[in-house]
Structure 1
């Protein structure tokens, strides 16, 4: 089956009475298990992919290389899935016994209507907080709309600048709707940066100009809160359909105009998770980000916050060739990883995304590095390594924020050691 896997899943979902906090229109995944599958070689990878063609399974990451994958499976297919895995020698273990139950725990945390980092929040609450924080620190913070999504939602940014002439830093999050921890962590870091009396953060606040885009993909983000927790893409119709109906959405982190469609899994399949779009920069959200990035002169650091995997990923995604200043970027990424580990001993791996994670092209970090000449450009894949995956409990937000804040402080120490800002 080539098509939008999770839309196929929906025909197997049983609708039941919902919790008060869980949206009544939300797709349910009662009894779905999440398995961790170890794919050891190319032959197993081929068979693993075939299973998605005739079973209702949700592969949560691209099947581009051998390695470990998390797969959500409907109750009616679990026995068949386990049997096939055994037949092909695929090692599996159950990491989530009831996905719906875990998702509902996440939604129960949404009951808070004021911004904090003990809960996940919806778009309205986050945008209200952005406006509030800009007013509170109005002497050196401003918020503005950089563009609009396909459905007409504003894409908001924050600029933090104590004095003109300081080096420009850009960080964004939630280009993938499913990755709630990314915007939660970024807004928490912004709060730390603005309010902390820690001299290290005060120095970062005053010595650099910061641009933040906490939610690049507002349509997908809202859809993941109101309709489908597993949603990844934006919400623009692709112009195609399959047996489940109209196919919506492009993976925005496959749509940037650098090595577009050169390498990656199912990027040319309009109904799949990782569809790269009909053309580079075809999506309004990507056009917005491109215009925004191009409007900022001499960006020194670009970071894209994602989940999950505990990774600091560097250019390139489309090839195994390393960029000419890779050693410098690796040193800076290792500085980030060292800072993260200093808090709770969370270990981050560092490397080029095409080797360390999986082959991909049209990604924002590669565009920023190769087209805009940003000297340090990276994707940060936040917690965890598969225990919860995309469904990290809200009670871990504060811990992730604390370790990432230390990581970013250390990143700037390493960057200065390498003369990035000279």
Structure 2
């Protein structure tokens, strides 16, 4: 066992580095592999390799359901990775042969789109905020802006409240806490538009029977950076005093079982770095304070993510314990997944608790709301796909993903109400 760790350490040290703030980072010939993990030794080796080295980027962490892990590798490290996988008998399959090719294709606007804001391409933060201003102006009687707080770089974290009257129960949606997950803000803006403009009976009921609090882009600094500098950027943008690596995983920074059970990293260069302390990030702290201020106004909390097609309920910090209402959470989850599966796309979603179904993830926003604000219905929704495109989901799939979201949401809210959580 000691020899195995020494060999892994050699590979790690040979390729370790720090983040570089280039004009526009490219990913030519970067590949994404699916690794099938057959034992705990293999898992620990891969985790150590990807945690310390900046030449590797975990796109999908190992989960108990599939026994697989997706990792992007720098082309300069490809030979080392192949040797590493062969040495330790780790099965692998190439998912994406050239990440930059997907990024380039993603940037080409669809010919079907007019000059108006739509959902056939992805938008930058400034464009989304301009659209949000237009929505607020177009629907002044049922919408109002709220500001969660300010980011590290001084940007406002904006949200929109949609309300058709007093004394309605609320649903809060937080989107794009991970910067590179562009499909989340695209889906959030589409969902806002549907709540305001759709004439479909079920959508109108959804819009008019509840108050909606929606933050289309939560990690505003990281999202801007993902457009301007590095498409694959995930974290916040606050520097560290002791490391050249920048940012924290905002979804590991909340003060609820923070850093418990190895559910986050203490390495600043890791994509799942939890920060020096809980709420080290002004964004996470501001959201917690805002949610606390409106805690009596909402009952359901949803966090939009990608990718993997999962509906994940608490707990994230442990797979050995479950909430008292776990069975009801799974009943609601079944309604969501079945509604999506019934659409013509027949897209399969898997439901379950984060830790038992996927992996241990401590300090998440959903767990914080569930545990600290005692809200009994909370989910992380991981959108399309299963890995063919990963974080670089083609714009052509935005509409289908949004349709699946609406079908799932109608079913989720209906079942939640039936079970008495939205009385």
Report the TM-score when normalising by structure 2: 0.90
Answer whether contact 1:304 1:379 (CA < 8 A) is retained: yes
Partner of 1:58: 57
Q: CA separation in 2, counterparts of 1:101 and 1:221? A: 20
Partner of 2:348: 347
Partner of 1:249: 247
Within-5 A mapping of 1:184-333: 184-241=186-243, 246-264=244-262, 267-296=265-294, 297-320=296-319, 321-333=321-333
Partner of 2:117: 115
Answer whether contact 2:61 2:70 (CA < 8 A) is retained: no
Partner of 1:29: 27
Answer whether contact 1:143 1:157 (CA < 8 A) is retained: yes
Per-residue CA deviation, residues 264-320 of structure 1 (Å, 9 max, x unaligned), is 355211222111112111211011111221121142110000011101100001112
Post-superposition shift, 1:179?
Answer: 0.7
Q: CA separation in 2, counterparts of 1:115 and 1:405? A: 19
Within-5 A mapping of 1:392-411: 392-411=393-412
Answer whether contact 2:16 2:54 (CA < 8 A) is retained: no
CA gap 1:147/1:7 in 2 versus in 1, 3 angstroms: farther
Per-residue CA deviation, residues 329-371 of structure 1 (Å, 9 max, x unaligned), is 1111111111111221111111010111110111000111111
Q: Secondary structure at the match of 1:420?
A: coil
Partner of 1:105: 105
Larger mean Cα displacement after TM superposition, 365-374 or 69-78: 69-78
Post-superposition shift, 1:51?
Answer: 4.1
CA gap 1:121/1:145 in 2 versus in 1, 3 angstroms: same
Answer whether contact 2:172 2:298 (CA < 8 A) is retained: yes
Q: CA separation in 2, counterparts of 1:145 and 1:110? A: 32
Equivalent pairs, count: 405
Per-residue CA deviation, residues 187-226 of structure 1 (Å, 9 max, x unaligned), is 1111111100001111111110000011110000001111
Q: CA separation in 1, counterparts of 2:262 and 2:391? A: 21
CA gap 1:298/1:138 in 2 versus in 1, 3 angstroms: closer
CA gap 1:352/1:216 in 2 versus in 1, 3 angstroms: same
Post-superposition shift, 1:174?
Answer: 0.3
Q: CA separation in 2, counterparts of 1:54 and 1:381? A: 26
CA gap 1:264/1:64 in 2 versus in 1, 3 angstroms: farther
Q: CA separation in 2, counterparts of 1:115 and 1:189? A: 14
Per-residue CA deviation, residues 379-419 of structure 1 (Å, 9 max, x unaligned), is 00111111111111111000000011011011112112212
Please report the RMSD computed on the Cα atoms of aligned residues, expressed in angstroms: 2.3
Answer whether contact 1:383 1:392 (CA < 8 A) is retained: yes
Q: CA separation in 2, counterparts of 1:82 and 1:75? A: 11
Partner of 1:173: 175
Larger mean Cα displacement after TM superposition, 228-237 or 83-92: 83-92
Answer whether contact 1:193 1:201 (CA < 8 A) is retained: yes
Partner of 2:5: none
Answer whether contact 1:6 1:57 (CA < 8 A) is retained: no
Within-5 A mapping of 1:65-104: 67-104=67-104
Answer whether contact 2:62 2:358 (CA < 8 A) is retained: no
Q: CA separation in 2, counterparts of 1:348 and 1:222? A: 29
Answer whether contact 2:42 2:90 (CA < 8 A) is retained: yes
Partner of 2:44: 46
Q: Secondary structure at the match of 1:390?
A: coil
Larger mean Cα displacement after TM superposition, 319-328 or 58-67: 58-67
CA gap 1:266/1:141 in 2 versus in 1, 3 angstroms: closer
Answer whether contact 1:38 1:68 (CA < 8 A) is retained: yes
Q: CA separation in 2, counterparts of 1:221 and 1:55? A: 20
Partner of 2:359: 358
